[in-house]
A and B are shown apart, each in its own frame.
Chain A
Amino acid sequence: MSDATATAAVAPRAVARRLPGALLLAAAVVVLLALPLYLEAFWLRIGLFSMATAVGALGLTILFGAAGQLSLGHAFFVAVGTYGYAFLSGGDTGHVKGLGLPPIVAAVLATLLAGVCGLLFSPVAGRLRGIYLGIASLGLVFLGHHLLLNLRPVTGGYDGRSVTPFSLGGFLFSDSSDLAVLGVPFGAVESLWYLFLAVTAVATLVARNVLRGRPGRAFRLMRDNEVGAAAMGVRVQRAKASAFVLSSMYAGVAGVLTALAFQRAVPDYFDLGLSIDFLAMIILGGLGSTSGAIVGATFVVALPIVLSRYADALPLVVGPGQDGLDASIAAQFVYGALVVVVMLTQPGGLRAMVHTLRQRRRPPYARRTP
């Protein structure tokens, strides 16, 4: 269903089919824009984390879903983005140094820095495949964690370092801003919400264009058959490197967003677990699809937090500190079990599930064989 076919000349039936979609999208946009006026900081914070993570997942779904390069090192590149931003925008405080650049410049440079790290690793990435690449990139996570702990002046060591709030054109995205919209005070979470929404939207559009356009086709050709791809004029080494760099830059953006959402950079967040979560997200959502990456990320991020909050209302689960099944453990069980169930019933992920449902509902004439 490429957009190219949906020109004005398309039969009215097709337009009729697409119109509800557009309205749905419009409604979704409105809801997303209005949410900060209603939701408490708790929910907005979940939204911020979800969006930050979703951008990272988009990068991984390009790399793994389209180009077939398994990376377990995504957490490393996210860390580069986070600490890159914190260092470039931060000032000198005690032993911890910073360059004090304007936040927007720092954010862009941090993204590029993550890309450069990806580029530096691409000689390794280009030579390796499958599980070899996966575990080699896993090495980056351990290496990165080691550096985070030891490069004190840049990272602040085990204690981490605080993150300069984002500002753009004199507007400060922090709690000290005095802005109020319709009586709702716009603190850090409310204003960051819009920033994150914009970044996520751009990241999604770019990813969609990459996946649907020439690069995506080249990546998929390469994934399915390197020799064949080379025969069709794909420069395999270069395509691999560019997939890796692109995905690292996405991780870098995710890192910057993570820094802003946390308002502090701490080393323990960027561990193997984060890399594996990223992998679980994109596969749960549906490998190689942008919507899958976003849904997967939101699901993985929000589930444990929401479950903990509503622990009291859930059967079998006890509130914090009581004896019995803790909410957080229960969340882990649900997360793990859902991953297993989705893989057993819908190896194509949640997106495939939606797709099947939609096909079932659609009248037969509209059904297409994939």
Chain B
Amino acid sequence: MLDIEGLVVRYGAREPVHHGVSLEVAEAGVVALLGANGAGKTSLMRAVSGTLPLHGGSVTAGSIRFLGQEVAGANPASVVAQGLVQVPEGRHVFGALTVDENLDAGGITVRSREARARTRRQLFEMFPRLAERRKQRAGTLSGGEQQMLAIARALMARPKLLLLDEPSLGLAPMLVKQIGETVRDISREGVPVLLVEQNAAMALSVAHRAYVLELGRVVLSGPADELARSDEVRRLYLGEESGPRPGEARPVPELDRWTA
């Protein structure tokens, strides 16, 4: 459904973030993309959703095809129109707007009023907390509630594929678990999910397939359960042994600005 091939992203004149990343998301299920901070995960998500220019970046090589259509370099609105919706890292809910208005905005590309109302009802069943707080400003919600809202807002657009960028970031372990369940629910409802996570344990527990990105390259890929058992992943991402490998550089400091 989503085919990325040989992707290279650059921010201005800086060194490219990727060195030809390729990955694939199937028609159903959850695909996890793992990697340390600075590996290029967020840039990859931005490349797919078309928001790279907002951060001064661009796709300089490779292709991103969604349902056979090239989307690399397309603007975010047309990407959304094609059914590819992203929940960004850091949630980016509309703090000054109410929960209801956030959901309205999420469904802004859906023409049918009736369809919007139906989706909203379903979402309120899925996230009862949001229904309770529908008149409240999103900025006043807790972190976990904001994450739920961000996901619900994306689902309002009735996506064909949902991209989730670091949904567990900054959340308490219990909430992380809840997010994992939500992701599983969404894919069960028939919406495939590309999940980008630093929290490999959670991601691998819900994903079917996974890719591991390191310094702009895919270094590992395969079925999630196999990866979860591999030594490398266990050591590096599941925290069974701490500290980076010798020789593995920390992210280039200049890149922090762009990926933070």
Contacts and interface: CB of A to CB of B under 8 A. Distances in A.
Contacts of B249: none
Contacts of A224: 257
Interface in B1-51: 13-15
Contacts of A370: 13
Nearest to B15: A369
A369 B257 CA distance: 17
Interface string A8-23: 0000000000000000
Nearest to A228: B256
Interface of B: 13-15, 257
5 contacts: A224-B257, A369-B13, A369-B14, A369-B15, A370-B13
A interface majority secondary structure: loop
A5 to B, nearest CB: 19
Contacts of B14: 369
Interface size class of A (residues with CB under 8 A): under 10
B250 to A, nearest CB: 16
A41 to B, nearest CB: 46
A280 to B, nearest CB: 23
A84 B257 CA distance: 44
Contacts of B257: 224
Contacts of B15: 369
Interface in A197-241: 224
Interface string A74-100: 000000000000000000000000000
B144 to A, nearest CB: 23
Nearest to B254: A370
A224 B241 CA distance: 34
A323 B9 CA distance: 56
A104 B15 CA distance: 53
A224 B13 CA distance: 20
B115 to A, nearest CB: 41
Nearest to B260: A225
Contacts of A369: 13-15
Interface string A350-370: 000000000000000000011
A369 B252 CA distance: 14
A8 B163 CA distance: 56
Contacts of B13: 369-370
A65 B129 CA distance: 46
B255 to A, nearest CB: 13
A369 B13 CA distance: 8
A224 B254 CA distance: 12
A71 B180 CA distance: 48
